[in-house]
C-alpha cells in the first residue's frame, strides 16, 4: 500500500510561480521544505502525526536537518516525537549531494556531488579495466560499450540540475573519462587530451552534459503550466529577468562557454512556450560546437597532432578516403596485434618516445631543449620526428626495415603512390596512415622502429646538459 502525504499550506511554504511546494517525494526519499526553523518543526510534527495515524513508524536516526543561505541567529533544535534530529553541513537527496550554508556561486552547493560522482566513476572504471587481468587487452569497441553502460551513467547523473559552471569541478569528471580511454588506447598520462576523442569517437563529457541539460529544458517546456516542473522553470525565468542567478542563468553561461553559436530564446518567449519547438535544433548546434572545439584543440597542439589533421578514414572497401576529426577509426579493429596497434596510435597522436616529444619531458639533468636541437640519436643531423624516423633517417638498421615494409606494401597495394625522397614526408606518412590495406604491416613497421629508438639513449646536445657533481 502506498501512502501519499498531503500537507496543508503554510506561510513557510516554498512558492514557485504561484505553486506551493511544501515537500518533495521521490520513491522512499522525502524532503520537507520550510523558510524558518519554527515552520519546519511544525511540518515535522504534522508529518509524524500523519504517518503515525497510517500505522507507519518514522526512524529519527535516519533523518537530518540542513539549511541553505545565512545560518539562523540562534541554533535551533528539532525533534521527531521527542528525539532530537541532527543538523548537518551536507546531505544527500535522490543521489545528489548538497552542501549547506552561504556560497558565492551555486556550483559550490554541488561540490560534494562532483566529488562523489567522480569517485564512483573511477571505481567503475577500475572495475571495467580489471577485466584485462582475465582476458588480456580489452578491445576498444567492447571497452566503449562497457564505458557507456557502467561509467558514463555515473559521470552524467544529475547533469540536468548540476550545471557545469565550475571548470574545476567539471575537471574531476572529465579526468575519469580521459584516463579510461587513454588506458584503452595505450596512451600515457602526458598524451594530448583531444586524442582520446579523435581516436574513439566518444563525445567529450562537457558537451554530453550540456546536451542533456538542454534536452531537460526541452522536456520542461513540453509540460503545462499546472505542473510543478513547469512552475519551477517559470520561477527560474522570472528570477533571471530580475538579475538574480537561477538555474536558467547558469545554463546560459554554460551555453556561452561551450556552444557560443547557440542562444536560448528570450525570457518572454520561453514563458509563453507551449512545446519545445522554440528551442530549435540545439542538438545540431552542440555537435557543430563539439567539432569546432576538437579542431581548435588539434590546432593548439599542432606540433604533436599534425599527422592527425592530415590522415583520413578509408571507406569499408578502402577505395576512397575522407577526413574525419573524430570517429572509431578502422585501423584499431583492423590491426590484430595489440602492441602494433598501440604503437600506431602512439605515433599518430604524438605520444611516442622520439626525441621531439621525449625531450619536452621534465628532466633535472638537462635544460629546456628547443625544437631544432632535438636531434636524431642515429644521424644527429635532423630533428627526431616520426617522419624522419620512418622515412628519412639513413641508419642501416632503419633502412633495412624500411625497405622490407615498402616491398610488402607495394605488393599488397599495386596502385599505391610510390615514395621518393623528394616527397613531403609528413604528407606521405599521413597517406600511409590512411591506407586500409597497409594498416597491419604499417603498424608492425612503426612498432619495430619505435623499439629500435627506444633501445638507444636519447641524444642530448652537450650545451643543454647539467653538470653533475661527482660522489665523494
Q: What is the pLDDT of residues 280-330, one digit of tens each?
A: 999 999 999 999 999 999 999 999 999 999 998 887 665 667 778 877 788
pLDDT of amino acid 1: 37
The helix or strand, by DSSP H or E, that contains position 209, with its residue range, turns out to be: helix 205-221
Domain ranges of the chain: 14-102, 107-202, 210-287, 308-464
The helix or strand, by DSSP H or E, that contains position 375, with its residue range, turns out to be: none
pLDDT of amino acid 2: 46
Query: Averaged in consecutive runs of 10 residues, what is the pLDDT profile of the chain (472 residues)?
Result: 56 84 83 89 86 74 86 84 88 90 83 95 96 91 95 96 94 97 94 93 96 96 91 93 92 96 93 90 95 95 92 73 77 91 95 94 79 95 96 96 96 93 95 92 97 94 72 49
Q: State pTM to two decimals.
A: 0.90
- What confidence tens digit (pLDDT) does each residue in 331-353 have? 888 899 999 999 999 999 999 99
The helix or strand, by DSSP H or E, that contains position 21, with its residue range, turns out to be: strand 19-21
Rounded (5°) CA angle 252-254-255: 65
Round to whole Å and give the CA distance between 15 and 33: 11
Radius of gyration for the alpha carbons in the chain, expressed in angstroms and rounded: 30
Q: Rounded to whole angstroms, what are the CA distances from 367 to 190, 301, 352, 362, 462?
A: 19, 22, 21, 9, 11
pLDDT of amino acid 55: 73
Round to whole Å and give the CA distance between 291 and 1: 51
Across the strands, what pairs with 98?
91
> By CB neighbour count within 10 A (0-12 exposed, 13-18 middle, 19+ buried), where does 446 fall?
buried
pLDDT of amino acid 468: 53
Question: Nearest CA to 121 among 176, 57, 181, 41?
Answer: 176
Across the strands, what pairs with 106?
none
pLDDT of amino acid 8: 62
The helix or strand, by DSSP H or E, that contains position 458, with its residue range, turns out to be: none
pLDDT of amino acid 61: 76
Round to whole Å and give the CA distance between 140 and 153: 19
A 10 A CB-CB count for 149 gives 11
Amino acid at each position: 500500500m502506498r501512502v501519499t502525504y498531503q500537507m496543508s499550506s503554510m506561510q513557510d511554504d516554498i512558492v514557485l510561480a504561484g505553486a506551493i511546494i511544501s515537500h518533495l517525494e521521490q520513491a522512499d526519499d522525502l524532503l520537507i521544505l520550510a523558510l524558518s526553523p519554527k515552520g519546519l518543526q511544525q511540518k515535522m510534527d504534522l508529518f509524524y502525526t500523519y504517518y503515525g495515524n497510517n500505522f507507519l513508524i518514522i526512524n529519527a536516526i535516519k533523518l537530518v536537518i540542513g539549511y541553505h543561505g545565512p545560518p539562523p541567529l540562534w541554533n535551533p533544535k528539532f525533534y521527531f516525537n521527542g528525539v532530537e534530529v541532527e543538523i548537518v553541513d551536507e546531505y544527500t537527496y535522490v543521489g545528489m549531494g548538497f552542501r549547506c550554508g552561504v556560497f558565492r556561486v551555486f556550483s559550490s552547493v554541488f561540490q560534494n556531488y562532483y566529488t562523489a560522482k567522480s569517485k564512483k566513476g573511477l571505481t567503475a572504471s577500475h572495475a571495467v579495466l580489471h577485466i584485462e587481468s582475465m582476458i588480456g587487452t580489452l578491445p576498444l569497441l567492447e571497452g566503449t560499450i562497457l564505458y557507456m553502460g557502467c561509467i558514463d551513467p555515473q559521470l552524467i547523473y544529475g547533469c540536468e540540475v548540476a550545471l557545469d559552471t565550475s571548470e574545476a569541478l567539471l575537471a574531476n569528471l572529465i579526468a575519469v573519462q580521459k584516463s579510461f580511454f587513454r588506458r584503452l588506447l595505450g596512451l600515457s598520462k602526458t598524451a594530448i587530451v583531444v586524442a582520446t576523442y579523435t581516436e574513439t569517437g566518444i563525445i567529450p563529457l562537457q558537451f554530453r552534459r550540456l546536451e542533456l541539460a538542454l534536452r531537460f529544458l526541452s522536456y520542461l517546456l513540453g509540460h503545462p503550466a499546472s505542473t510543478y516542473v513547469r512552475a519551477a522553470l517559470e520561477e527560474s525565468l522570472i528570477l533571471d529577468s530580475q538579475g538574480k542567478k537561477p538555474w536558467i542563468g547558469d545554463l546560459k553561461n554554460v551555453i556561452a562557454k561551450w556552444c557560443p553559436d547557440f542562444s536560448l530564446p528570450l525570457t518572454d518567449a520561453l514563458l509563453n512556450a507551449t512545446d519545445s519547438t522554440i528551442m530549435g535544433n540545439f542538438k545540431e548546434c552542440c555537435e557543430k560546437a563539439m567539432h569546432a572545439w576538437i579542431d581548435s584543440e588539434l590546432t593548439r597542439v599542432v606540433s604533436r597532432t599534425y599527422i592527425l589533421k592530415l590522415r583520413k578514414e578509408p571507406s569499408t572497401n578502402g577505395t576512397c578516403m575522407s577526413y574525419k576529426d573524430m570517429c572509431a577509426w578502422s585501423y584499431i579493429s583492423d590491426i590484430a596485434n595489440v602492441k602494433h596497434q598501440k604503437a600506431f596510435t602512439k605515433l599518430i597522436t604524438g605520444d611516442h618516445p622520439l626525441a621531439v616529444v621525449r625531450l619536452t619531458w621534465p628532466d633535472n639533468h638537462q635544460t629546456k631543449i628547443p625544437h631544432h636541437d632535438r636531434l636524431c640519436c642515429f644521424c644527429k643531423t635532423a630533428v627526431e620526428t616520426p617522419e624522419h624516423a620512418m622515412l628519412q633517417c639513413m641508419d642501416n638498421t632503419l633502412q633495412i626495415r624500411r625497405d622490407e615494409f615498402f616491398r610488402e606494401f607495394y605488393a599488397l597495394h599495386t596502385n599505391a603512390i610510390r615514395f621518393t625522397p623528394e616527397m613531403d614526408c609528413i604528407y606521405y606518412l599521413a597517406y600511409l596512415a590512411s591506407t586500409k590495406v597497409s594498416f597491419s604491416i604499417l603498424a608492425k613497421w612503426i612498432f619495430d622502429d619505435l623499439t629500435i629508438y627506444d633501445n638507444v639513449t636519447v641524444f642530448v646536445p652537450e650545451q643543454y646538459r647539467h653538470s653533475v657533481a661527482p660522489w665523494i
